[in-house]
Amino acid sequence: MLVKLRECSPKAALALGASLAEAHMKYLKESVAGGALKPGSLVILDFKGIKGTNGSYIKGTALWLWTCGNLSTNGSQALSPPRHRADPRPYDLYPCVTGLAKELEAEFQEFFRPRKLPLLLAREMGQEVLEEAVLLGHLDPALRFTLNAATQKQRVTAPELYKANPNEEVTVTAWNNRLNDLYALRLLRRIRAGRVWQYEPLAKQITWE
């Protein structure tokens, strides 16, 4: 699903504040709550035409989506009822942004890096899988290595990574933990294949900034 924020009501070239974020996300939230989006959907927030933003707006849009997706992977933690109607719910969504001007990209970096959270910036769009993306925010080196390995193969399991990286002192269990962490961070999709999980990246090519 692509959400063109510049066309959301009320229209604004400056995306500032929690109230505007709530208004711009209204239709998306109603669609998600009503089941219009299937589990595992990629939701892309398009900032094309937006000349400026701030932390409050990012918190109410991109971070809200990211937190919803993360909550969907947290088991019992996701059962805690939200205290406010604007609070995130456990929805199996994968957030992404696109159309960021340089100033907005810097704003997103400053927002996500201190929180040690990653977010994909789509450079070239696709359908369910992006053609090319940039990783914004933070991702520790071990998870970066694992994400890069998964992206090269496009679909991978922990035993396959273990066999493909004999020089890495990483057990199958540790590979599985890393892949599961990337799934929780909304950077990999997960599919049951018999007794193992298969993981797929959201983009065919991912670069770092």
One domain, residues 77 and 117: yes
Is beta strand 2-4 parallel, antiparallel or unpaired with respect to 52-53? unpaired
Question: What's the predicted TM-score (pTM) here?
Answer: 0.92
Q: Please give the pLDDT value at position 126.
A: 74
Q: At 83, phi and psi to the nearest 5?
A: -85, -20
Q: Are residues 47 and 4 in the same domain?
A: yes
How many domains, the chain? 2
Of 113-122, 162-171, 180-189, the range with the lowest mean pLDDT is 162-171
Residues 97 and 196 in one domain: no
The model's pLDDT over 134-149, given as tens digits with 9 standing for 90+, comes to: 999 999 999 999 999 9
First to last CA, the chain: 25
Distance CA 180, CA 48 (A): 32
Which of 93, 123, 138 is the last residue in one of the domains? 138
Residues in Cβ contact with 12 at an 8 Å cutoff, skipping those fewer than 6 apart: 20
Determine the structural domain holding residue 9 and report its residue range.
Answer: 1-138
Verify that 109 and 184 share a domain, yes or no. no
In sequence order, the 6+-apart residues with CB closer than 8 A to the CB of 179 are: 146, 150, 156, 158, 161, 188, 190, 197, 199
Residues 39 and 114 in one domain: yes
Average pLDDT over every residue of 176-199: 95
Q: List, for residues 92-108, the tens digit of each pLDDT value.
A: 999 999 999 999 999 99
Does 10 sit behind a cis peptide bond, omega within 30 degrees of 0 on the bond before it? yes
* 24 and 75, same domain (yes or no): yes
